[in-house]
Amino acid sequence: MSDINLQLSELRSPVIKKREAAAILLGKSANSSAVTPLINAIQDSHAGVRKEVVQALGRLGDSDAIPGLIATLDDKDSSVRQAAVVAIGKIKDRDAVCPLIRFLDDKDSKIRSGVAEVLGRLGDCRAIEPMKKLLDDPFSEVREAAEVALIKLQKSS
């Protein structure tokens, strides 16, 4: 069995650590055949596995993963949501702009600042007005991320 097939098999293992390890290795594989099985694993019952799957999809950089990553922005675990924001930022697909805007008011300040950074990098002017509300955020890292992002967005519009 090839390494990729072994990892794809391990992604369905009943052992959490094996699923996490498989996701990590698949993300490092640069093999596009891993994208669909990883997307299918994005609903894993364990947050640690979901996080590794999301990070793997970000490493692979395939825009086919965007719908699954967007869905993961609603995950109950903030570390999974944070990983989804980073992964979307790595893929740089503008289809994610409107869904990301919705998370500018996430309860987690790390998510808000991460979304601001990604929206700034994506350079889509649709994010300018919604981003302005972060300038009054109670957390300085969110305000700073919004300021930097707004500068980038205004330059690109």
Q: What is the pLDDT of residues 11-41, one digit of tens each?
A: 999 999 999 999 999 999 999 999 999 999 9
CA–CA distance from 82 to each of 1, 29, 32 (Å)? 34, 22, 23
SS3 92: coil
What gap in Å lies between CA 95 and CA 52, rounded to an integer? 23
**Ranges in the chain, pLDDT < 50:** 1
Q: What is the pTM of this model?
A: 0.91
Q: Which domains does the chain have, with CATH numbers?
A: 1-91 (1.25.10.10), 94-157 (1.25.10.10)
Instruction: Count Cβ atoms below 10 Å from residue 40 Cβ, excluding itself.
Output: 13
List strand residue ranges (DSSP E) for the chain, in order: none
